[in-house]
Structure 1
Amino acid sequence: MQGMRVQDLLIPDDTSSENSAVEEGRPPKPDPTPSETKYFLIEFIHDTICPFCYIGMKNLFMAIEIYKSKHPDAVFEVVCTPFILAPNARNSYYYKDHYYSTERGLPRSRFELWDKLGENAGIEFSWKGRTGNSRNSHKLLRFALQKTPTRQMSTEFAVYKPGVDAPLYPPHSLRAPNLPVSVIQPRGPDLQMRLLDAITTKYHEHDNDLSDPQFLIEITKAVTGFPENEIRAVLDSSEWDHTINMLSSDVQNRISVRSQLSGPIVAVPTMVLNNRWVYGGFQNSDDIVSQFELLRQGINPRQEYTTSSLVLDGGIADTIAREAAMARGNVNSNSSGSGNHKSLTTQSGLNGNKETRHI
């Protein structure tokens, strides 16, 4: 798999705080039967700098709201896992428009696609302002999940508490608060997602620079209530740098036909449902709701991952799908692995001189 570039994988084309787990009250975990699932654990693999990830996040939030309006007893926990697209980028070094068009080598049609998909998700993208390395934003997102850095998978911090006290603020909300919070918020998946919503909304729609430490300090204080000295210490910490690098590398290690997941992780954004089912790409909210409905009924949403909604034409992802299908005896060696399935494709002709990572 040598010579694979991250942007070929990750950009689809048209087609005083508690220590770790949440201490807040939660409703009791539903008792699922073999034929019905009411609890949904979603791992959202992403990069804050990626417009497709922002679209995918907004569509996921919308899908959860739609689904819960139909099934009020459903309970969702969403955690995010970092995958850094440009690990060597400098902080606040690039104008946003220049970064995507020149540093990442993307055509103007990509901006038009982002604008169109964003409009459908209620997003008004802005291509002004500066940008840079996304690592610091991921450090603070992880800090919203745990106080000290570890390499534990994000899903290990998804917890349930019996229905005792109501959460402090706001009840099970994944969306950022409109006003700064007045008290320190309990760590956990909900807080992490509220912070993700705040950082990415300010970056993608309001010209804030996600690599600017001062912006990150202010937005993290407003959402979490954490003391500024704690936030600054995380930003300055080489241990936190190493942790995020390791977590991002762990995602690369899951890009493998040997994965225990029902499908390869071939792009960001990717959702892993209930620690098993891989659902890749910036899916629209209706499609995501459909996956929830299948899971509720006890139906595997992806019987074979060659039926994934994100099957890439060429490159590592197509190879993974083909080799995995061959290993299962489903196709012959000449099969492309994409068949007639719904697919989104990546651009495979990006400038090879830009920042790359090899697997």
Structure 2
Amino acid sequence: MAARVIPIEIVSDTVCPWCFVGKRRLEKAIAAAKNRNLPLEFKIKFKPFQLDPTLPKEGVSKIKKYEAKFGPERIQQMIPHMQVVGAAEGIKFSYDGLIANTVDSHRVLEYALQKGAQLELVEELFKDYFERNKNIGDHEVLADAAARVGLDKEEVLAYLKTDQGKHEVEEQIESAYRRRITGVPHFRINGTYSLGGAQDPEAFLEIFEALAKQ
């Protein structure tokens, strides 16, 4: 029996820590589904969201931005907590560096989608921002990440210098707002199941089991 292809759309922002965690947990669930020999294959697509559209392209201090948003005392509790959560998923969260507007990072992810390299680039951008303290509002950083997953760096830089893909990204973000998605990650599985937040692998597996029985 041929495996059934299950589309999974993930509404995500490239500076959202729970989106990185959610990606890793989904991957654990997919690995578990394969171990259970569920007759499913998964087609994953990341769709854009902006947690803070007011961020400048040049970036601002990540830690200062978080302190302004949540307060210094809360941040002192949040950072160790996120580092523990991340470590369980193989993520080394760091809070140095800059946080910047994410529109261009979403544009390059749309570009990578057309080239069949979106999933690999999502991983690289998450690592750049959360582990390597790179500014993913910087075109050089984005193009370097794209090159690491096999895309042409100069083509990506030329693309980023234009407004190509910007309208499509903005439309998809508006679509998420219209669907009343206010937080990310948000997972839509097979067009019928929706999950909000960085769910445990078991939550995904329950859905996969149900789909396998249909």
Indicate whether the TM-score tops 0.5. Answer: yes
> For the residues of structure 2 that align with 1:266 and 1:247, how far apart are their CA atoms?
14
1:204 aligns with 2:120: no
> For 1:226, which of 122, 129, 151 is the aligned residue?
151
> For the residues of structure 2 that align with 1:220 and 1:85, how far apart are their CA atoms?
23
8 Å CA contact 1:59–1:284 kept in 2: the answer is yes
> For the residues of structure 2 that align with 1:44 and 1:52, how far apart are their CA atoms?
12
What are the residue-to-residue correspondences of 1:298-309 with 2, within 5 Å? 298=214
1:231 is paired with a residue whose SS is helix
1:141 aligns with 2:109: yes
1:281 aligns with 2:197: yes
> For the residues of structure 1 that align with 2:170 and 2:5, how far apart are their CA atoms?
30
1:93 aligns with 2:93: no
> For the residues of structure 2 that align with 1:270 and 1:29, how far apart are their CA atoms?
28
1:72 to partner: Cα distance: 6.0
What are the residue-to-residue correspondences of 1:64-75 with 2, within 5 Å? 64-71=30-37, 73-75=39-41
8 Å CA contact 2:38–2:209 kept in 1: the answer is no
1:229 is paired with a residue whose SS is helix
> For the residues of structure 2 that align with 1:294 and 1:129, how far apart are their CA atoms?
43
8 Å CA contact 2:110–2:165 kept in 1: the answer is no
2:160 is aligned to 235
1:194 to partner: Cα distance: 0.9
> For the residues of structure 1 that align with 2:211 and 2:39, how far apart are their CA atoms?
14
1:250 to partner: Cα distance: 1.1
> For the residues of structure 2 that align with 1:97 and 1:266, how far apart are their CA atoms?
23
What are the residue-to-residue correspondences of 1:242-261 with 2, within 5 Å? 242-255=167-180
1:110 is aligned to 78
1:217 aligns with 2:133: no
- In structure 2, relative to structure 1, the CA distance for the partners of 1:212 and 1:29 (3 Å cut) is farther
8 Å CA contact 2:146–2:152 kept in 1: the answer is no
8 Å CA contact 2:59–2:135 kept in 1: the answer is no
1:242 is paired with a residue whose SS is helix
> For the residues of structure 2 that align with 1:74 and 1:273, how far apart are their CA atoms?
12
Q: CA RMSD in A?
A: 1.9
Q: Which amino acid aligns with 2:88?
A: N
What are the residue-to-residue correspondences of 1:1-359 with 2, within 5 Å? 30=3, 38-71=4-37, 73-102=39-68, 104-105=69-70, 107-108=74-75, 109-146=77-114, 187-188=115-116, 191-223=117-149, 225-255=150-180, 265-298=181-214
Identity percentage of aligned residues? 27
> For the residues of structure 1 that align with 2:27 and 2:42, how far apart are their CA atoms?
10
> For the residues of structure 1 that align with 2:203 and 2:82, how far apart are their CA atoms?
18
8 Å CA contact 1:266–1:280 kept in 2: the answer is no
- In structure 2, relative to structure 1, the CA distance for the partners of 1:292 and 1:266 (3 Å cut) is farther
Which of the two has higher C-alpha Rg? 1
Q: Which amino acid aligns with 2:90?
A: G
1:305 is aligned to none
Structure 1, unaligned stretches of length 5 or more? Answer: 1-27, 31-37, 147-186, 256-264, 299-359
8 Å CA contact 1:271–1:280 kept in 2: the answer is yes
TM-score using structure 2 length: 0.90
1:324 is aligned to none
Per-residue CA distance 1:158-188 (angstroms, 9 max, x = gap): xxxxxxxxxxxxxxxxxxxxxxxxxxxxx23
8 Å CA contact 1:43–1:272 kept in 2: the answer is yes
1:124 is paired with a residue whose SS is coil
Which is helix-richer, 1 or 2?
A: 2
8 Å CA contact 1:41–1:273 kept in 2: the answer is yes
> For the residues of structure 2 that align with 1:221 and 1:199, how far apart are their CA atoms?
12
8 Å CA contact 1:139–1:234 kept in 2: the answer is no
Which is strand-richer, 1 or 2?
A: 2
1:105 to partner: Cα distance: 2.9
Where in structure 1 do 4 or more consecutive aligned residues deviate above 4 Å? none
Higher mean C-alpha displacement, 238-247 vs 135-144: 238-247
1:42 is paired with a residue whose SS is strand
> For the residues of structure 1 that align with 2:126 and 2:2, how far apart are their CA atoms?
30
Per-residue CA distance 1:252-292 (angstroms, 9 max, x = gap): 1111xxxxxxxxx4421010000121111111223222221
1:318 is aligned to none
Paired residues, what number? Answer: 211
1:127 is paired with a residue whose SS is coil
